[in-house]
Amino acid sequence: MKPAKRKRLLPAFCVSKILALALKNLSKMSDISDKFVVVTVTEHEARVWATGISKGSKPEMIYAPSGLNNHHFRDDPKIKGRGDGPGVPAYFEEIVAAIGDASQILVLGHGNGKARSMVHFVMYLERKHPNLAKKVVDTLDTNLFGITKPEILAMAREWFDRHTRLGV
């Protein structure tokens, strides 16, 4: 009979580093209150510009769980519905955690039908986080794979300038 395996615990210094990183990320997220936040959502990743839309701003990257969209759902008679894998709510919740304190949210995405991750994300917000959904000021449908990060920021600045000038 084999001896039972013992669970290995993390050393104390690893736990302290993990806690320090978590606190750093929490303090970074709390800085976005009363800010205009830009979010791009695709089925594979989301980019969150929570630090502003000025030139050179860097987005926070949030990746969908691996293997999320690797199955051909139409070919499997046991699976019904949109084809959301078990990772979709977790992926959307990560985005929610990153934008939770924003005052205004501009969401960009692309695709048609089942591939419209932006629309699915906004619908998820309306169902699960209605207070946050009210902060979504607009959704823009654009080819995210055909434009660069600076072009996304320029589009957001143009939208922001147009709407603040018009008072909308």
**pLDDT, tens only, 84-142:** 555 688 999 999 999 999 999 999 998 776 668 899 999 999 999 999 999 999 999 99
Q: What proportion of the chain, given as a percentage, has pLDDT over 70?
A: 64
The answer to the question of residue 5 being in a domain is: no
Determine, yes or no, domain membership for 13.
no
Q: Is 28 a member of any domain?
A: no
Assess if residue 14 is contained within a domain: no
Structure token pair of residue 72: 């051909």
Q: Is position 97 within any domain?
A: yes
Please tell me the total count of domains within the chain: 1
- Cα–Cα distance, 23 to 19 (Å, whole number): 6
Confidence of residue 27 (pLDDT cuts 50, 70, 90): very low
* Residue 16 included in any domain: no
Q: Is the pLDDT score of 158 beyond 60?
A: yes
What is the CATH classification number for the domain harbouring 140? 3.30.420.60
**Mean pLDDT of all residues in 35-39:** 92
User: Does 99 fall in a domain?
Assistant: yes
Q: Is residue 24 part of a domain?
A: no
Q: What is the dihedral of CA 18, 19, 21, 22, to 10 degrees?
A: 120
Q: Look up the pTM and report it.
A: 0.70
Domain range enclosing 59: 33-166
- CA atoms of 28 and 13, how far apart (whole Å): 23
